[in-house]
Amino acid sequence: MVDVGGKAQTVRTAHAVAVVVLPPALASRLEGGDLATPKGSVFQAAILAGIMGAKRTADLIPLCHPLPLDDCKIEIEAGAAIAGESREVEIHCRARTTGRTGVEMEALTGATIAALTLYDMGKSVSHGIVIREIRLLEKTGGKKPYRAA
C-alpha cells in the first residue's frame, strides 16, 4: 500500500465511462429511458449496483485505499434507437471525495459494476451483450490531474 499520510487532503473527483453494446434483441426493448427485461428495470438496478460497487472498491481491489465518498453518480445514456441494429450504451460514473488520494478507482469500479449488472440482467434476452470499453475520462485534485484526449 502506498503511504499517503504526508499528502494534503483536497477535493478529488473522477469521471469514468463503460461502453456496452446491446444486440438487436435487447436494444429493441429500450423504451422511456430504460431497458425492460423479465428481471425488471435494468438501468435502475445498474445505477444502484454501480454506486454500491464504487463504495466497496477497497474491498475488491487489493491495496486500494478505502475512501469515504462525498458523492457518486451513475448516468446511463442509450444511443438513438434504429430498428434491428445494435445499440451502444454509455455508463458514466462520477465520484468525489475529500482525501489524500485519488478517487479514480472508485469511478472505474462504479462504471464496471453497473456494466456487469446490465449484462447480468440483459442475458435473459441475449448473451450477445459486449462490454467494449472501460476508461477514465478525467480526474481532478492531487498532483496529477488527468483529462482524456
Q: Which CATH architecture has domain 10-142?
A: 2-Layer Sandwich (3.30)
Annotated catalytic sites, by residue? 120
Q: What percent of the chain has pLDDT over 70?
A: 97
Which of the four pLDDT bands, split at 50, 70 and 90, describes residue 78?
A: confident
How many whole angstroms separate alpha carbon 80 and alpha carbon 87?
8
Which of the four pLDDT bands, split at 50, 70 and 90, describes residue 81?
A: low
Q: Let me know: does 72 contact 89? Beta carbons within 8 Å.
A: no
Q: Let me know: does 111 contact 135? Beta carbons within 8 Å.
A: no
CA-to-CA dists, residue 70 to 49, 66, 114, angstroms:
17, 13, 19
Count how many Cα atoms sit within 13 Å of the Cα of residue 35 in the half-sphere of its side chain. Answer: 34
pLDDT at 27 exceeding the cut of 80 = yes
CA-to-CA dists, residue 143 to 10, 47, 94, 146, angstroms:
10, 30, 19, 10
pTM of the model: 0.92
- Please write the tens of the pLDDT for every residue from 91-144: 999 999 999 999 999 999 999 999 999 999 999 999 999 999 999 999 999 888
Mean per-residue pLDDT over the chain, rounded = 91
Which of the four pLDDT bands, split at 50, 70 and 90, describes residue 83?
A: low
Q: Give domain limits for the chain.
A: 10-142
